């Protein structure tokens, strides 16, 4: 496997998920429910838009848009059709398009995980500095 930016981002995201797993499992056993599907998650959701972590709701979609634009421009420069059109109409290249789509989605999800971890670490550090406990 070659060392590429994509593989590095994927490896870092996987490490972040592996590091978070013990805490998530412990919380699930202690509370008897998955946080994502809990009432607590829904109650805390509006606070995420106004709390110290709100910047990531601007940063992550912006990065996703930039990654999408970069991929679209690369396709246009290479003379390839738009991704969805090529996937639906270009039968001979479908396998390559699915593979490139998987890589693009992998990069996007990996960057989202890394950015979320960085934002969470920064908000926790700022909140601790001001004596507010854990950040959003």
Residue 134: which region, alpha, beta or left (left: phi > 0; alpha: psi -120 to 50)? Answer: beta
User: In which band, very low, low, confident or very high, does the pLDDT at 136 lie, cut at 50, 70 and 90?
Assistant: very low
Q: What confidence tens digit (pLDDT) does each residue in 32-72 have? A: 878 777 788 888 878 777 776 677 778 778 888 888 898 88
Global pTM value: 0.67
Burial label, 16 (beta-carbon count in 10 A; 0-12, 13-18, 19+): middle
User: In which band, very low, low, confident or very high, does the pLDDT at 133 lie, cut at 50, 70 and 90?
Assistant: low
Q: What confidence tens digit (pLDDT) does each residue in 67-122 have? A: 889 888 988 898 888 888 888 887 777 888 888 888 888 988 898 889 888 878 88
User: In which band, very low, low, confident or very high, does the pLDDT at 16 lie, cut at 50, 70 and 90?
Assistant: very high
């Amino acid at each position: 496997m070659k060392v590429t930016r994509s593989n590095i981002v994927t490896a870092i995201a996987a490490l972040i998920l592996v590091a978070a797993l013990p805490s998530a499992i412990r919380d699930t056993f202690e509370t008897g429910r998955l946080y994502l599907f809990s009432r607590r998650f829904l109650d805390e959701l509006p606070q995420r838009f106004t709390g110290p972590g709100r910047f990531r709701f601007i940063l992550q979609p912006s990065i996703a848009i930039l990654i999408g634009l970069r991929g679209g421009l690369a396709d246009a420069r290479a003379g390839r059709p738009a991704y969805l059109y090529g996937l639906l109409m270009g039968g001979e290249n479908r396998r390559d398009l699915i593979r490139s789509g998987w890589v693009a989605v992998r990069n996007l999800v990996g960057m989202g995980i890394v950015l979320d971890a960085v934002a969470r670490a920064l908000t926790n550090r700022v909140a601790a500095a001001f004596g507010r406990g854990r950040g959003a």
